[in-house]
């Protein structure tokens, strides 16, 4: 019989919230050999073993649920839904887990972005094409000036989603942006994360304006490739080829 996962936990010296609890849980999962689909020990047992309050454990598990690492079944327990591997180098474990969750999310985003960009390029009205171009100019102006750019970025991409003629694309993609919970000091929430993909936003806008769907799709994939490689570099994985 597999040794109880709880035997891989030790009481924390202080009633630490946040990172220490998350690191301890990740270490427990890895050392005990828990696999995807296995059930985690109950919250009350985790709290007692670590010597922290149950609310602290619940907060940590909420964070993992936001990253897609666990799945809760009402009345049944908490199950592992993604691989958990602790970091052995300079990258903190939670940064690695956040990065891996972001890569999983980007697989979904790539499929949706490919479809919405193609539809928008083919269906956009002349007024929408002009708006997309102008919003791209405004976005790049904010980026080049070093000013906050997220609002302008959302406006640019939102105009492309609207041009597709299906408002559900925009709703789903915006929800995806909010689906992944990031820590306050997460490198994936920093202002400079993904900035290297911004110059080719102009190429995307130009392709949409020209009605070149193949070029628009290729450009959005190039943008996603850049961001994916940046995620992999941060978490210490080798960059994807190409």
What structural domains does the chain harbor? 5-80 (1.10.10.10), 93-235 (1.20.120.530)
**Cα dist. 196→45, 124, 175, 226 in Å?**
45, 27, 24, 7
The two tokens of residue 210 are 């020209």
CB 198 within 8 A of CB 150: no
- The CA distance from 212 to 217, in Å, is 9
Q: Which of 151, 135, 111 shows the shortest CA–CA distance to 209?
A: 135
- The CA distance from 95 to 47, in Å, is 23
- The pLDDT of residue 164: 96
Which of the residue ranges 79-88, 119-128, 214-223 would you say has the lowest mean pLDDT?
Answer: 79-88
CB atoms within 10 A of CB 242: 6
* Chain segment 136-190, per-residue pLDDT in tens: 999 999 999 999 998 999 999 999 999 999 989 888 988 877 766 565 578 888 8
- The CA distance from 213 to 158, in Å, is 17
In sequence order, what are the residues at sequence separation of 6 or more whose Cβ sits closer than 8 angstroms to the Cβ of residue 242? Answer: 225
The two tokens of residue 38 are 């296995």
First to last CA, the chain: 46
* Bridge partners (DSSP) listed for residue 77: 73
CB 65 within 8 A of CB 72: yes
In sequence order, what are the residues at sequence separation of 6 or more whose Cβ sits closer than 8 angstroms to the Cβ of residue 151? Answer: none
The two tokens of residue 164 are 């597709």
Residue 1 has pLDDT above 80, yes or no: no
- The pLDDT of residue 230: 94
In which band, very low, low, confident or very high, does the pLDDT at 241 lie, cut at 50, 70 and 90?
very low
Classify residue 78 by its DSSP letter. E
CB atoms within 10 A of CB 183: 17
Q: pLDDT higher for 239 or 139?
A: 139
CB 36 within 8 A of CB 82: yes
CB 11 within 8 A of CB 51: yes
Q: Which of 229, 227, 242, 225 shows the shortest CA–CA distance to 192?
A: 227
In which band, very low, low, confident or very high, does the pLDDT at 12 lie, cut at 50, 70 and 90?
low
């Amino acid at each position: 019989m597999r040794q109880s996962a709880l035997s891989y936990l030790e009481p924390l010296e202080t009633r630490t919230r946040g990172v220490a609890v998350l690191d301890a849980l990740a270490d427990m999962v890895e050392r005990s050999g828990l696999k995807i689909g296995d059930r985690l020990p109950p919250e009350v047992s985790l709290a007692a073993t670590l010597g922290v309050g149950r609310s602290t454990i619940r907060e940590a598990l909420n964070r993992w649920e936001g990253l897609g690492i666990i799945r809760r079944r009402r009345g049944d327990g908490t199950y592992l839904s993604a691989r958990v591997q602790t970091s052995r180098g300079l990258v903190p474990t939670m940064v690695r887990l956040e990065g891996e969750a972001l890569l999983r999310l980007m697989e979904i985003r790539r499929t949706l972005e490919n479809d919405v960009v193609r539809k928008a390029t083919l269906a956009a009205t002349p007024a929408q094409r002009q708006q997309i171009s102008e919003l791209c100019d405004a976005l790049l102006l904010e980026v080049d000036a070093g000013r906050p750019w997220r609002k302008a970025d959302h406006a640019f991409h939102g105009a492309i989603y609207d041009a597709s003629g299906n408002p559900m694309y925009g709703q789903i993609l915006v929800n995806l942006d909010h689906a992944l919970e990031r820590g306050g000091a997460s490198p994936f929430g920093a202002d400079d994360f993904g900035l290297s993909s911004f110059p080719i936003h102009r190429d995307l806008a130009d392709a949409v304006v020209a009605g070149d769907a193949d070029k628009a799709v290729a450009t959005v994939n190039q943008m996603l490739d850049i961001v994916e490689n940046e995620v992999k570099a941060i978490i210490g994985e080798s960059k994807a080829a190409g």
